[in-house]
Chains A and B, each alone.
Chain A
Amino acid sequence: TTRSWDYLGLSSVNSSNLLRNTHLGHQVIIGIVDTGVWPESEMFSDEGIGPIPSRWKGNCESGQQFNGSAHCNRKLIGAKYFIDGLLAAIGDLNTTQNPEYVSPRDFNGHGTHVSTIAAGSFVANVSYGGFGKGTARGGAPLARIAMYKACWLQVGTCMGSDLLKAIDEAIHDGVDVISISVAFPIPLFSEIEIRDGISVGSFHAVSKGILVVCAAGNKGPAAQTVVNTAPWVLTVAATTLDRSFPTSITLGNNITMQGQAMYVGPELGFTGLVYPENPGTGDEEFSGDCERLSVNPNSTMAGKVVLCFTAKTDNSPVASAVSAVRNARGLGVIIARNPGHLLVPCGGFPCIAVDYELGTDILFYIRSNKIPVVKIMPSQTLVGQPVSTKVATFSSRGPNSISPAILKPDISAPGVNILAATSPDDGGFAMKSGTSMATPVVSGIVALLRGLHPDWSPAAIRSALVTTAWKTDPSGEPIFADGSNRKLADPFDYGGGLVNPEKATDPGLVYDMGTSDYILYMCSAGYADSSISQLIGKPTSCPNPKPSILDLNLPSITIPNLRDEVTLTRTVTNVGPRDSVYKVVMEPPSGVRVDVNPKTLVFNSETKRVSFTVRVTTAHKVNSGFYFGRLTWTDSVREVTIPVSVRTQILQRYYDDN
């Protein structure tokens, strides 16, 4: 957060409109469902924050090392914990064997981190081991935080029964936004089955006007891995910032390259460099695989920097390699891999990541020199250009595996190396990465928008975010999606794009929805009248014939099974100047024809909502992948853009693995 908000144009120094006009979100209450809080963090300071909003009905509970009346203040206004579901599942919790606080206090650190990303107070001169130095703060620095601790232990286990109670209490207490950085792996459960407690709980929250922001999950970059896909929640993917930590690696031939690390030094002067491989002279086993370095004779690695390769992008090969090289009394490790965006410091030990290209350069240098050497410098913090924005490798991708016609994720936000508060026992601040971190970035922005537009529905706020999102990074350069291979990002990577808070304040038009729209979604998805009736608490019968899921009034058009042609409808509501005229600009997906009718929308004092149809036909003759385009309404000042994604399926419901 020492960079996130400036990067997104929400700089407090320039006093952006959104921050100024909402008084930094001071009237908004954000409910965080997570692992608890460290209330001692300076980011929970309530200095300069006014009285608690009178509508607040929550409170702070006491428990192990947490005094509800002493630890809460005008910033941290709620703190509750829900452990009964976990206890019923595992029996008694032995906190000696499994350290934890049976209270709202945060053993894990995750809850403190995400809550301060959303709404932490200003804390100057913060860094993480010297990296990312600056002022840490939340997106809505004066908004109030209510923590609902439902996730427990070091691994962060959250039982569905505890999560549901947390959401139920948050609804009761009067939060405006619920932020949930929690996921369940695919395959998914139906959105209206209680097995997906987040979805069902969220439905009730959203139907009461509370916006629910959820993580897209960390199972990327494979397709169809996005979770929390219900159309009533705002699902958030993770991007990088324009900040990196280059680390100079100089080879004995004087070629210098920049890897990535969080190495605080000291400089490692020219030192032996090795890639463990069998010289072909004996039976000893050698491996240059980062996860198998421990099979090498210690003498191979002792006193040297070791190069290894891995196909994995998570952090496990780094941990294995560091452990093996340290045990062999090596001096450092260079890990060649595809970018995973999961840098961590290696406890003062040089561990530097490079890609396969640089890794192969180093390998060829080693193989062509009898005494290869390397010099490693401490890492630097590089901010701004030329560091580019990428959708993180780990960020889960669409299409939505339950309803591919519902675009997920909705939006993306920075979620890599985000510096925010954690336990004071852990240094007080830490960098963490995940869609967990991207989620409260959006929650903070949503809080500001809620403060600015208290009468907007959750769907209207979602629409404002999606239709105004950046399709490039804030400096105008393309956003790429990391994976294998790096490619230009598309809506299944980042939804509408990278969240653009200032633009979202004045979207012009919104694609609004309410409970009746979600009922039509359930009808179109084939849920029974009886289930829908009980869910919403009143008799409901779905129309016959069933409505088309393509007509759900989302700020996106996703057609997963186009055969010949289809016509769908959208309705836009004018939230800008009363007398406005918007014209359509269509960028159709390749090989797809899109006709919008009418092509001009006229709004005045009597006409606030206008519908239009979109007729889509395909020229493709085979089952294709998705092609992407955009539909924009513009009044010359505003651009209301939605992503259009179309897949031709001549053979319907056909799995192609030939």
Chain B
Amino acid sequence: DAKKKVHIVYLGERRHDDPEFVTESHHQMLWSILGSKEDAHDSMVYSYRHGFSGFAAKLTDFQAEQISGLPEVIHVMADRSYELA
């Protein structure tokens, strides 16, 4: 867990109109990499499901690399901070 950090997994435009369905697909994707439904649930930080599709999750670098290899994934990037202007 110590080696996990937040990564943003970006999937582009939504492929389904129902936000619940979009979030479910995010959990499924995480589940396929992490191996358990519980781990997928615990790792999920946000599901982006209204304006576009993607999610933020706590992942190791290796897990992030695995997810980035999935065909529907556009980018996987470590989270970073912005500042007020």
Q: Which residues of A contact B (CB under 8 A)?
A: 34-35, 82, 84-85, 88-89, 108, 110, 151, 155-165, 167-172, 181-185, 193-195, 197-198, 200-201, 204-205, 208, 215-218, 434-436, 439, 531, 534-538
- A616–B80 alpha-carbon span in the complex (Å): 42
| Contacting pair A537 B13 (CB below 8 A) | yes
| Contacting pair B46 A161 (CB below 8 A) | yes
Contacts of B75 in A (CB 8 A): 193-195
- A158–B5 alpha-carbon span in the complex (Å): 16
Q: Which of B6, B12, B51 contacts A172 (CB 8 A)?
A: B51
- A195–B79 alpha-carbon span in the complex (Å): 7
- A155–B82 alpha-carbon span in the complex (Å): 11
Shortest Cβ gap from B10 to chain A (Å): 4
| Contacting pair A157 B8 (CB below 8 A) | no
Shortest Cβ gap from A207 to chain B (Å): 8
Contacts of B14 in A (CB 8 A): 537
Please give 18 more A-B residue pairs, beta carbons under 8 A apart, in addition to A155-B83, A160-B82, A193-B75: A85-B45, A157-B81, A158-B81, A159-B6, A164-B48, A164-B54, A165-B56, A170-B51, A172-B50, A183-B83, A183-B85, A194-B54, A201-B51, A434-B84, A434-B85, A534-B13, A534-B74, A535-B74
Q: Which of B5, B51, B76, B82 contacts A167 (CB 8 A)?
A: B51
**Could you list 7 examples of A-B contacts with CB < 8 Å?**
A151-B84, A164-B56, A181-B85, A185-B83, A200-B52, A535-B13, A538-B13
Shortest Cβ gap from A90 to chain B (Å): 10
In the complex where A536-B12, A537-B14 touch, is A84 in contact with B46 (Cβ < 8 A)? Answer: yes
| Residue B29 at the chain A interface, CB threshold 8 Å | no
| Contacting pair B82 A198 (CB below 8 A) | yes
Shortest Cβ gap from A537 to chain B (Å): 3
Q: Which of A159, A181, A217 contacts B79 (CB 8 A)?
A: A159
- A501–B14 alpha-carbon span in the complex (Å): 36
- A638–B12 alpha-carbon span in the complex (Å): 41
Q: Which of B12, B72, B79 contacts A160 (CB 8 A)?
A: B79
| Contacting pair A161 B6 (CB below 8 A) | yes
Total contacting residues, chain B, CB less than 8 A: 32
Q: Which of A89, A157, A169, A439 contacts B83 (CB 8 A)?
A: A157
Contacts of A534 in B (CB 8 A): 11-13, 72, 74
Contacts of B27 in A (CB 8 A): none
| Contacting pair B84 A156 (CB below 8 A) | yes
Instruction: Kindly name the residue among B11, B19, B83 whose own CB sees the greatest number of chain A CB atoms within 10 A.
Output: B83
| Contacting pair A85 B56 (CB below 8 A) | yes
Contacts of A204 in B (CB 8 A): 13, 51-52
Contacts of A82 in B (CB 8 A): 46
Majority DSSP secondary structure for residues of B touching A: strand
In the complex where A167-B51, A215-B85 touch, is A194 in contact with B46 (Cβ < 8 A)? Answer: no
| Contacting pair A161 B85 (CB below 8 A) | no
Contacts of B15 in A (CB 8 A): 537
Q: Which residues of B contact A (CB under 8 A)?
A: 5-6, 8, 10-15, 19, 45-46, 48-52, 54, 56, 58, 72, 74-77, 79-85
Contacts of B46 in A (CB 8 A): 82, 84-85, 161-162, 164-165, 168
Shortest Cβ gap from B4 to chain A (Å): 9
In the complex where A161-B56, A172-B50 touch, is A84 in contact with B85 (Cβ < 8 A)? Answer: no
| Contacting pair A159 B50 (CB below 8 A) | no
| Contacting pair B48 A165 (CB below 8 A) | yes
- A200–B58 alpha-carbon span in the complex (Å): 21
Shortest Cβ gap from B13 to chain A (Å): 3
Shortest Cβ gap from B65 to chain A (Å): 15
Contacts of A184 in B (CB 8 A): 80, 82-83
- A531–B10 alpha-carbon span in the complex (Å): 11
Contacts of B85 in A (CB 8 A): 181-183, 215-218, 434-436, 439
Contacts of A182 in B (CB 8 A): 82-85
Please give me the 6 A-B residue pairs with the lowest Cβ-Cβ distance, nearest first.
Answer: A537-B13, A171-B51, A172-B50, A156-B84, A215-B85, A534-B12
- A193–B12 alpha-carbon span in the complex (Å): 10
Contacts of B56 in A (CB 8 A): 84-85, 88, 161, 164-165
- A343–B6 alpha-carbon span in the complex (Å): 38
Contacts of A110 in B (CB 8 A): 84
- A34–B83 alpha-carbon span in the complex (Å): 10
Contacts of B19 in A (CB 8 A): 172
Contacts of A185 in B (CB 8 A): 83
Contacts of A162 in B (CB 8 A): 46
- A205–B14 alpha-carbon span in the complex (Å): 13
Chain B residue nearest to A534 in the complex (CB):
B12
Shortest Cβ gap from A519 to chain B (Å): 12
Contacts of A194 in B (CB 8 A): 8, 10, 54, 74-77
- A204–B76 alpha-carbon span in the complex (Å): 18
- A590–B84 alpha-carbon span in the complex (Å): 38
| Contacting pair B50 A168 (CB below 8 A) | yes
Chain B residue nearest to A537 in the complex (CB):
B13
- A439–B80 alpha-carbon span in the complex (Å): 22
Q: Which of B12, B79, B80 contacts A537 (CB 8 A)?
A: B12
